[in-house]
Structure 1
Amino acid sequence: MTTLLKQELLRLAYILLVFAIPGWFFHISLQLVFLGLLVYLGLHLRSLHKLHHWLKANPTEPPPELSGIWEDIADNIFRLQKEELKAKQNLLGIIARARTSVSALEEAVVLIDSQGNLEWWNSAAEKLLGFKSDIDIGKPIINLIRDPSFIRYFEHGPYTEGLRLPSWSQPNRYVQYEVTRFGQNDRLLIAYDITRLHQLEQIRKDFVANVSHELRTPLTVLSGYLETFASNEELPPKWARAFKQMEQQATRMSNLVNDLLMLSRLESDNIKQEHKAINMTHLLEQLRLDAQAYDPEKQHAILVNIDSPLRLLGTENDLRSAFLNLITNAIKYTPACGAITIRWSNDEKYGYFSVQDNGIGIEPQHIPRLTERFYRVDAARSSATGGTGLGLAIVKHVLLQHKGILNINSKPNIGSTFTCVFARESLVD
């Protein structure tokens, strides 16, 4: 039994004894004991009233004069209040320092509540995003940044990658947005000024496109003369072999230039080609004929499975180029007399174009990087096949234009399956 409880029981016993002794003399013990209990209750009610008045009127002041267990309760409440106040002040200090630190950042930092409304932002956000603290606080962010791409990104994600867009408040500037969820669906938005990076990227694209374009004409002339010399039967064997090798390398360089030009076109933000419904049965039959003519000496079995009657909305030339890149890769890396299956199918959510082979396969560590430009699993092997190292990069960019993704499943010495996945809204009857 605690000391305070013992003291309170002794106090109650003392009060009852004080009232019980006179009652014994006057033969009214029960009445006076009951009166003593009322006095004891009144003392507690008086202490409770003092405690309530203190908590309501002056909780930051020292507690009133109390006794017994009420004094201990008041002292504990006062101690807890001081500790809470100290913790609150420490927390406010941490928040103030954090806000000062965030305000010093060059990146725009914006806190957005679970309803999508602006809660707080640093000074960089006012400069970069044009927010005004006196009128924009509490407004939905999508009412300020109204770009449809940003609205889709903000409302639906995914947030694994950032979003690059022209600045809505400053012409000729570009901003990258990155969103992170926290708490109860609150969001943290970080925005970067990537104008310089965008300009450098545009310079790179323009340089590649211009150089590739300028190389096309001289390469065409060189290829023409080399083909003429290589086909001349009067040349000595040594010279004929040299011209033949030069012709092969000129052809390879020409293919590289054509692939670079196509990549530059696909990357251009100004190219918005109209999507039309593509007859996939007809397209796959054309691809089968092209595949059979690509390397007939290997005698591959080219199979076509059409498991869907739906057509695909897109740019036929670009999709044909992407699909043909996947098929020619399968031909290059599948030994003679292998099997290659081209398939078009769909389910309730997606449409699938896939190329499956039983070739040499790919090690797992290479798969995430296959769509990078000029990435080669084996440089010697790729050179022997005459590849440019841009085929899968072209496939990736074509699929981006059609809101599709590329899935790769491969096992060494068993084979590979490359699958282009298209959203259901890209399919029509």
Structure 2
Amino acid sequence: MNQDWRGVVIRRLLLLIAGCLLVGLISGEYAWSLVVGLGAYLGWTLAQLLRLHNWLKHHQTDQPPPDGYGLWGEVFDSIYHLQRRDQRVRGRLQAVIDRVQESTAALRDAVVMLDSDGNLEWWNRAAETLLGLKTPQDSGQPVTNLVRHPRFKDYFELPAHPEPLELISPVNDRMHLQFHITQYGNGEHLMLVRDITRMHQLEQMRKDFIANVSHELRTPLTVISGYLETLLDNVDDVNPRWLRALQQMQQQGGRMQNLLNDLLLLAKLEATDYPSDNQPVSVDLLLLSIKGDAQALSNDRHRITLEADNSVRLKGSEAELRSAFSNLVFNAVKYTPDNGEIRVRWWADEHGAHLSVQDSGIGIDAKHLPRLTERFYRVDSSRASNTGGTGLGLAIVKHVLLRHRARLDISSVMGKGSTFTCHFAPAQVVRR
């Protein structure tokens, strides 16, 4: 109530009291005149309150408040103006919501809104096509009940989702989907689902091409390497001028054979998502064997130490883990100068199991770190040729770790060495 209406109310009360006193002067009953007059005013005020209460309790959305006069007319008018303003605001908000829903409905990607418990709240039409969601019976259902895949359940329960997840569509086995979950608000989730069938087909064509070419090249390369070996075994019958050429041809043939073997191994790793021979592996014994091979490769030029917890085993393929771990250790030997130190450590904590390979080598520039696991990526092509590498070692490590639900962290300082750390999820760890 503003200052003007406060004055009006006081004047009206004074007029009412004056009128009551005048009636009392005429009738000689001052007290009863005041009681009757003030009682009538109080009754009128209560009647207006009851009208307001009844309207608040039973009014429809757009129904205006009741008419009134005086102070209560001002109150009802103020309520009416607030009501109209709220209706305009709601109209604008609803228009924005309608536009957002129309735009998301037109998307070819599925958009699904989930509450903090993972229950479905809203989705667009693409979600019905890609995920088979049905309106309205699926509303309020847990998303893990509708996308029934163990990998999706594990992915959804992660505290963060920096990388997307690729799965087959629950409604079409020939459709491949990419899931990406973002958290917002008070723990709510926004799930975006894309159809990547075409990309998957192109990727599969690439894999098949590499695998087929590698297989086709293997036979002629074996024949060439066999004849070269035969010629070098009978070096006395070969013109001396051809000896150096034959030796270089054999060396390059060996490098090509290693390259084909790595390509075939990568093709094999990409063929399935999880190792078929998933058994507990004694990592401490595996690393002890790799340490012996590394010492032979080093020829006592480095100090190699091993610290491994023998109570921690790992579920997975021993052959694949040997390939990944030996790649890391052998790289440390190749790129560490003489008299350098290489430390291999295997341990476990509440976050899972970890393997670190630390060297005191030449180090790697920070700009190269994000691309080290790419196929054929070279930090220094001359260095790679000197060490005889194929450029596929870290790509093999990456794929083996992905198949074992693990990730690779790389840290390096130029001139001080590098550290390669493999982090395995707790679900992969087996305690003795």
TM-score (norm 2): 0.90
Distance 1:383 1:6 in 2: 97
In structure 2, distance between residues paired with 1:61 and 1:403: 61
1-structure distance, mates of 2:73, 2:63: 15
Work out which of the residue numbers 328, 331, 334 in structure 2 matches 1:329. 331
How far apart in 1 are the matches of 2:284 and 2:152?
37
Deviation at 1:331, TM superposition (A): 1.3
Shift of 1:359: 0.5
Aligned to 1:291: 294
Question: Among residues 156, 162, 165, which one is paired with 2:164 in the alignment?
Answer: 162
* C-alpha deviation, 1:391, in angstroms: 0.7
Alignment match, 1:422: 424
Quote the residue 1:266 is aligned against. Answer: 269
Structure 2 equivalent of residue 102 of structure 1: 104
SS in 1 for 2:362: coil
> What are the residue-to-residue correspondences of 1:182-197 with 2, within 5 Å?
182-197=184-199
Q: 1:135-150 counterparts in 2 under 5 A?
A: 135-150=137-152
Give the counterpart of 1:257 among 248, 256, 260: 260
1:181/1:279 Cα in 2 relative to 1: closer, same or farther (>3 Å)? closer
Q: In 2, Cα distance between the equivalents of 1:286 and 1:413?
A: 29
Aligned to 1:65: 67
Q: Does 1:118 align with 2:120?
A: yes
Q: How far did residue 13 of structure 1 move?
A: 0.8
TM-aligned CA deviation for residue 180 of structure 1: 2.5
Aligned amino acid, residue 53 of structure 2: H
Give the deviation of 1:140 after TM superposition.
Answer: 3.1
Equivalent position amino acid for 2:156 in 1: F
Q: Which deviations, in whole Å up to 9, do the C-alpha atoms of 1:303-352 show, x marking residues without a partner?
A: 22234433333222111111111111111211112111222223344222
Matches of 2:273 and 2:93, distance apart in 1:
50
Quickly say closer, same or farther: Cα 1:142–1:62, change in 2 above 3 A. closer
For residues 45 and 226 of structure 2, the distance between their equivalents in structure 1, rounded to whole angstroms, comes to 111
Q: What amino acid does structure 2 have at the position aligned with 1:306?
A: A
The aligned residue for residue 248 of structure 2 is: 245
Secondary structure at 2:162 match in 1? coil
Determine what percentage of the aligned residue pairs are the same residue: 47
For residue 413 of structure 1, what is the aligned residue in structure 2?
Answer: 415
Question: One-letter code of the match for 1:276?
Answer: Q
Q: Is 2:36 the counterpart of 1:39?
A: no
Where 2:206 maps in the other structure, the secondary structure is: helix
Whether contact under 8 Å (1:351, 1:427) holds in the other structure is no
Give the Cα separation in 1 of the matches to 2:312 and 2:64: 80
Query: Runs of 5+ in structure 2 lacking a partner?
Result: none
RMSD, matched Cα:
2.6
User: In structure 1, how many angstroms separate the alpha carbons of the residues matched to 2:232 and 2:357?
Assistant: 36
Deviation digits for residues 214-256 of structure 1, max 9, x if unmatched? Answer: 2122222222333444562675665333333222222211111
- 1:316 and 1:341 mapped to 2: Cα distance? 21
Partner of 1:394: 396
Question: Under a length normalisation based on structure 1, what TM-score does the superposition of the two structures give?
Answer: 0.90
CA distance in 2, matches of 1:166, 1:307: 38
Equivalent residue for 1:206? 208
Does residue 15 in structure 1 map to residue 20 in structure 2? Answer: no
Runs of 4+ in 1 over 6 A off after TM superposition: none
Q: Which amino acid aligns with 1:340?
A: I
Quote the Cα distance in structure 2 between the aligned partners of 1:311 and 1:149: 22
The Cα of 1:114 is off from its aligned counterpart by 3.7
List gaps (5 residues or longer) in structure 1: none
